[in-house]
């Protein structure tokens, strides 16, 4: 009996000692959660109402990080490949993220050895710039460019090499990567 009374007394004491401020905070938090839930619902409705602007890259280009690429299923020499890409409102690829593009090419399975990219030293022997004018300063395969046959003036990406960039004979037919500039 005394023990039960003691327990009730302790409970009463602990309840009465619970700071009003604590309850107030709990109520405030519940209200805040309610408001957040309302806001989430509103945002969901706004997302549904958004016009469907479609993907970032126009078909058949695919987004890789923030760039748009297309890996060909046909093989052409470098000049023909460039013409083909330009006919797709793009140009041969000048990736800012060479390894992201490499991963993507591997993933498509479109090419097992190499693909043409957008760079050549045809008009400036020995000076390698991307078609957009940026110099190619990294990602050359070891010892490249080596002008191996005395006639290697176009850039390709070697699927199985690391680093992957190689100078190759422009007249060889290879699959290639086009890029659409956003």
- Site residues for ligand NAG per CB under 6 A: 114, 125-126, 146-148, 150, 156, 166, 168
- Which of 100, 141 has the CB closer to ligand NAG? 141
Q: How far apart are CA 19 and CA 21, in angstroms?
A: 5
- Which of 72, 166 has the CB closer to ligand NAG? 166
- Which of 88, 141 has the CB closer to ligand NAG? 141
Provide the CA 69 distance to its chain's centre, in angstroms.
11
Least separation in angstroms between CB 100 and ligand NAG: 21
Contact (Cβ atoms closer than 8 angstroms) between residue 71 and residue 101: no
- Which of 116, 180 has the CB closer to ligand NAG? 116
Least separation in angstroms between CB 111 and ligand NAG: 11
Least separation in angstroms between CB 141 and ligand NAG: 7
Contact (Cβ atoms closer than 8 angstroms) between residue 73 and residue 175: yes
Least separation in angstroms between CB 70 and ligand NAG: 20
The structure tokens listed for 58 are: 């126009």
Cis peptide before 145 (omega within 30 of 0): yes
| Strand segments (E) across the chain | 62-64, 67-71, 91-92, 114-120, 129-130, 154-158, 165-168, 175-180
């Amino acid at each position: 009996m005394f023990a039960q009374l003691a327990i009730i007394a302790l409970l009463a004491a602990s309840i009465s000692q619970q700071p009003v401020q604590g309850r107030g905070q709990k109520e405030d938090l519940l209200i805040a959660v309610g408001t957040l839930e309302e806001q989430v619902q509103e945002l969901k409705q706004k997302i549904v109402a958004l016009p469907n602007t479609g993907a970032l890259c126009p078909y058949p280009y695919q987004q890789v990080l923030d760039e748009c690429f297309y890996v060909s299923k046909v093989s052409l020499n470098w000049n023909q490949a460039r013409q083909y890409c330009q006919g797709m409102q793009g140009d041969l690829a000048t990736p800012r993220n060479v390894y992201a593009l490499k991963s993507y090419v591997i993933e498509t399975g479109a090419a097992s050895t190499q693909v043409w990219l957008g760079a050549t030293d045809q008009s400036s022997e020995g000076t390698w710039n991307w078609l957009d004018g940026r110099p190619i300063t990294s990602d050359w395969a070891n010892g490249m460019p080596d002008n191996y046959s005395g006639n290697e003036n176009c850039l390709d990406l070697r699927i199985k090499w690391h680093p992957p960039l190689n100078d190759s004979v422009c007249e060889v037919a290879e699959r290639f990567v086009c890029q659409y500039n956003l």
